[in-house]
Amino acid sequence: MKLLTKANKTALLPLGGSESVKDPMIQVKFFTPDSSWTWYVIEYDGEDRMFGYVESAAFANYGGELGYFSFAEIKSVRGPFGLPVERDTGFTPAPLSSVTRTVRS
């Protein structure tokens, strides 16, 4: 599976593009099918750096986290059964508030 399609790349904002947006749109969702990590992507520099919301069972006590992450690292991640990260092909773009109560002011 291709992790980012041309349409995905076109829909993602450039880095910094959502700074003044209170509730930015998540365009792409990645997940580990054999683990508990999920990445919701809002911005992409077109090469490697992404910005969005990350959640995992590891964050269970306080929710997820907004921040930067590397596309190269996502492509290299393997879960405990060796499965690679996948793009959720059924994901429909949605506002950040739909996956978290953390909305920037």
What span, in angstroms and rounded, lies between the C-alpha atoms of 104 and 101? 10
Section 9-38 average pLDDT = 96
Going by C-beta distance under 8 Å and a sequence separation of 6 or more, which residues neighbour residue 22? 103, 104, 105
Question: In this structure, what is the dihedral angle of CA atoms 43, 48, 49, 51, given to the nearest 10 degrees?
Answer: 40
Q: Using one digit for the tens of pLDDT, what is the confidence trace for 33-77?
A: 999 899 999 999 999 999 999 998 776 666 788 999 999 999 999
pLDDT digits (tens, 9 = 90+) for 73-96: 999 999 999 999 999 999 999 999
Nearest one of 55, 9, 8 to 31, comparing CA atoms? 55
**pLDDT in the model for residue 105:** 47
